[in-house]
Amino acid sequence: MIKDPWWLYAYWEVQPQAERAARSQLTPEDIVGLQSVLRVYDVTDTAFPDQSARRWFDIPLSGLATSWYIHANAPDRSFIVEIGLLTRGGRFLLLARSNRVTTPRAGPSEVIDTAWAIDDETFWRLFGGAVGRGSSPSGWMSAPSSAHAWLPAGTAAARPAVVKGFWCRVNTDLVIHGATEPRAKVSIQGRPVLLRPDGTFTIRLAVPDGAQTITIDVTSADGATTRTITPTVTLAWSGTLEPERPAKPFRPSGKPADRPSPGGAA
């Protein structure tokens, strides 16, 4: 699945018979150093697997994981992920293959139609309440399109701001992970958390502004004992970013006669 222009989310379930069939192909030497990996293929504009991927990389898996966040760091690209067994000698045994996904662009379109451009004052009057403080057409025009100019986006609300044509977006996610008895019950913020067979768990939360108290309840299998942990996380913004107002409003080039009439075709 796509999370945002830079991140993918993979989850899987491997049938026992599929893993047994793959392991039956291993020699005793292959078993030493054997590990489970996710193999991430960049398949942009290719008919994978009939055609070779443009590039690929492996992610070693820990424990009995059944899901993973993948930092692809490649907006507007297509990916397919495989899970398999990797021997120390580099032999890869496929267990399952994902669907194809394509990450979205990282930022506004670079195509600008100056015939429909408006000055910042008009923009604020028409759209200021909808897009929030800190956006402007000049900010859109100069928005970065390179992934290196962005931070990985999370699920928290974005806070864009413009200063002299520069803008950025910073989102914050909190990853909570731990372990308990496999038969115990864990809930975070009142919602149950799925435990892996070994009792480990991982959950990702969006962190809004301000101080947040996270309530984690762990209850024994017989329901007799409950332990509660309440870590507090604070996300605070400092400083103020104000949009720069242009000295003169934007005026499209060309004479008024060159502009389309109200009854003309758009």
Alpha-carbon dihedral sign for residues 139, 144, 148, 151: positive
Number of domains in the chain: 2
Q: CB of 155 within 8 A of CB of 172?
A: no
Residue 72 lies in a domain: yes
Domain finish residue from 74, 102, 130: 102
Query: Which DSSP string corresponds to 31-99?
Result: HTT-EEEEEEEE-TTS-TTTS--SEEEEEE--TT--EEEEE---TT-EEEEEEEEE-TTS-EEEEEE--
Residue 62, both tokens: 């820990």
Domain finish residue from 102, 120, 143: 102
Residue 181 lies in a domain: yes
Residue 164 lies in a domain: no
Residue 257 lies in a domain: no
At 22, which CATH number? 2.60.40
Residue 91 lies in a domain: yes
Residue 152 lies in a domain: no
pLDDT in tens, the chain (266 residues): 999 898 999 999 998 898 899 999 998 888 888 999 999 999 999 999 999 999 999 999 876 788 999 999 899 999 999 999 999 899 999 999 999 999 998 876 666 666 666 666 666 666 555 444 444 444 443 333 333 333 333 334 444 444 455 566 667 778 888 889 999 999 998 889 988 888 888 888 777 778 888 899 999 999 999 999 998 888 876 765 555 455 555 555 554 444 444 444 43
- pTM for the predicted model, two decimal places: 0.45
Range of the domain at 32: 7-102
Q: In sequence order, what are the residues at sequence separation of 6 or more whose Cβ sits closer than 8 angstroms to the Cβ of residue 6? A: 71, 72, 73, 74, 75, 103, 106, 147, 150, 152, 153
